[in-house]
Amino acid sequence: MDDTALPSPEGYEISTDPGRLDRELIHQWLSGDAYWALGRSREKQDAAIEGSLNYGVYDAVSGRQVAYARVITDRATFAWLCDVYVDRGVRGKGLGTALAAAVRDHLAPYGLRRILLATADAHEVYAKAGFETLQAPDKWMALGAQ
């Protein structure tokens, strides 16, 4: 799919254009404030961005990036939504849910069987975009840190 602007909440723009990403800001957010990525190196973050579909949310007036998400996918059967972060200064405005819904809608044409994510504290944000808890979590396994 081409880099594109996606339906966005009033006053904001959601885009998949990698050229708009503020990589330094994304690294600052994730490595310094996101429990799942604390201490992640800039090199590791840049590699993650390069290997993923990326979504940025931007203030429509200033153009400043205010949120980020990335998706790892084969574009055929599976996707993993990760590194979702909303700047603390704009939280509570529904941007996390809008971003999750934009990702869902942007991936819909691929006909993916499953889009997964993991969260310790934002279940209600993702539920508003249609995500549900696993019905059979005992079927799933992981290799690596829990």
Three state DSSP letters for the chain: CCCCEECCCCCEEEECCHHHCCHHHHHHHHHHHCCCCCCCCHHHHHHHHHCCEEEEEEECCCCCEEEEEEEEECCCCEEEEEEEEECHHHCCCCHHHHHHHHHHHHHHHHCCCEEECCCCCCHHHHHCCCCCCCCCHHHCCCCCCC
pLDDT (0 to 100) of residue 3: 59
pLDDT at 17: 96
pLDDT at residue number 145: 66
All residue ranges of the chain with pLDDT < 70 are: 1-4, 7, 145-146
Residue 8's pLDDT is what?
Answer: 79
Which pLDDT score is estimated for 136? 92
- Pairwise CA distance, residues 71 & 51, whole Å: 9
